[in-house]
Amino acid sequence: MSIKRALVSVSDKQGIVDFCRELSALGVEIISTGGTSTLLAKEGVPVIGISDVTGFPEIMDGRVKTLHPAVHSGLLAVRDNEEHTRQMKELGLDYIDLVVVNLYPFAETIAKPDVSYEEAIENIDIGGPTMLRSAAKNHAFVSVVVDANDYATVLEEVRAGGDTTLETRKRLAAKVFRHTAAYDALISDYLANVTGEPLPERYTVTYEKIQDLRYGENPHQKAAFYGKPLAALDTLTAAEQLHGKELSYNNINDANAALQIVKEFEEPAVVAVKHMNPCGVGVGESVYEAYQKAYNADPTSIFGGIVAANRIIDADTANLLKDIFLEIVLAPGFTEEALEILTKKKNLRLLKIGNLSTASARKSSFVVTSIDGGMVVQESDVHSVNPDDLQVVTDRKPTEEELKQLLFGWKVVKHVKSNAIVLAADDMTVGVGAGQMNRVGAAKIAIEQAGEKSKGAVLASDAFFPMGDTLEMAAKAGITAVIQPGGSIKDEESIKVANEYGIAMVFTGVRHFKH
């Protein structure tokens, strides 16, 4: 076999003129449609219009042009099937040996902030996926290219042997079906959102590979990093790496955890994360002050951690950051002086994240978690407590300063693995108890970490207290105020203990389990 006829119809025309010129020089006849045909003719590449092949005009603004037996017979005919061959000859049809197609830019269209529903629907490609699927199904005989990165391989093999190898055709066909599946998934997701069905009877997601990773959580596990199409600029998948080694699987998870926490704050904030839990969070008048608080919250655990800031890193802050070993620093930007300081650390990864705001932290999305044999899907936890919604359940109300620290702690505990307890004072965490099998254990860890700093601190709990023992422990440690969801059948026991010790306690009515 050899490639004699190619059908070319592309929306993204990058590299297509040179590719077709090379094919034509190798004796391949080029059939094309619409704008692609016009471009090739303008650039002096010999081209046959699709209507000359089908004997039928392009109609309905180009909606119907390649949906024709003359096209799909040429693509689907099994070349070593005598009946197929007889029918092709009887009907005067010719084979098509190569299809080069990429699709209407649906993703780019719906990414426009002012896109209308009608415009989105008009950019759903019909003929393109149909040709791709026909050619990919018949890859035993037909080569199909959907990615401009494969032009060079096809040309090389055609020059060498007149056709692509079966191995290459299989690989190209597999890429086509991945491509069309992703295209349909994006359309499905768009329409599900339009029709108010975010959790439909079939849930299809698509992601694009950003990079291969050296390994996963451990060296014996394979891993790769994928991003969702149209990801927001303030997500890790859209981050720009300015310096340092490639990200690892664990780096990505930790950095994402840090990013989600720092988005909770409007004021300058810095978050330090280890193993997806915050080890230090601080807010201040400047990023410099916020970092000092985050560092002092736990100077031991921050070593080898991830630091996220919601303000541009300046030189003064960079000089503090350089003094310890960190895996990643991520921020909306870095001053030139800060970059000069931090890039002297060869392996430190610097990530520039798009415009960070609390609004993005409150934008609902869906979280997909794989399980053995399936997955579970839920809305992301974007709840933000309104101070006016808090219910004071104790005799003593929290002071203005206590309320400020309670709200700070509540923002942090939301992102700590359950069971979770956070102690806060002076706009910083002073103790974090994470991932414990019981709430008393989490409180004990947080209080032990805080030490003397627990005196006068406030406590945030991600879920209610099933009994009064956690309040007893908090009171003995000198904690003065508590924020928790409430809702336990033994709330009155906790309220009684709080009143006995003069602790102010507020209920949010919302819990923040994080598994």
What residues act catalytically? 137, 275
Contacts for 38 with CB less than 8 Å, ≥ 6 apart: none
Q: What are phi and psi of 203, to 5 degrees?
A: -115, 110
Tokens in use for 305? 């951690």
CA torsion sign for 185, 186, 187, 193 is positive
Provide the edge-to-edge strand list for the sheet that holds 143-145: 48-49, 29-32, 5-9, 98-101, 143-145
Task: Name the region of 225 (left: φ>0; alpha: ψ -120 to 50; beta: rest).
Answer: beta
Give SS3 for 274. strand
Q: What are phi and psi of 115, to 5 degrees?
A: -65, 140
Structural Rg of the chain based on CA atoms? 30
Contacts for 123 with CB less than 8 Å, ≥ 6 apart: 104, 105, 106, 109, 110
CA torsion sign for 365, 262, 276, 219 is positive
DSSP 427-467: TEEEEEE-S-SSHHHHHHHHHHHHGGGGTT-EEEESS--SS
Please state, in angstroms and rounded to a whole number, the distance separating the CA atoms of residues 15 and 214. 32
- Closest to 275 measured CA to CA, from 428, 416, 411: 416
DSSP-derived pairing of the beta strands 481-484 and 458-461: parallel
Tokens in use for 487? 């809702």
How many residues are there in the chain?
A: 515
H helix or E strand, kind and range, residue 301: none
Return the amino acid letter for 206: T
Q: Label residues 312-332 b or e (16+ Cβ within 10 Å = b).
A: ebbbbbbeebbeeebbbbbbb
Please state, in angstroms and rounded to a whole number, the distance separating the CA atoms of residues 294 and 89. 77
Tell me which residue has tokens 């993703």.
107
Q: What are phi and psi of 495, to 5 degrees?
A: -65, -40
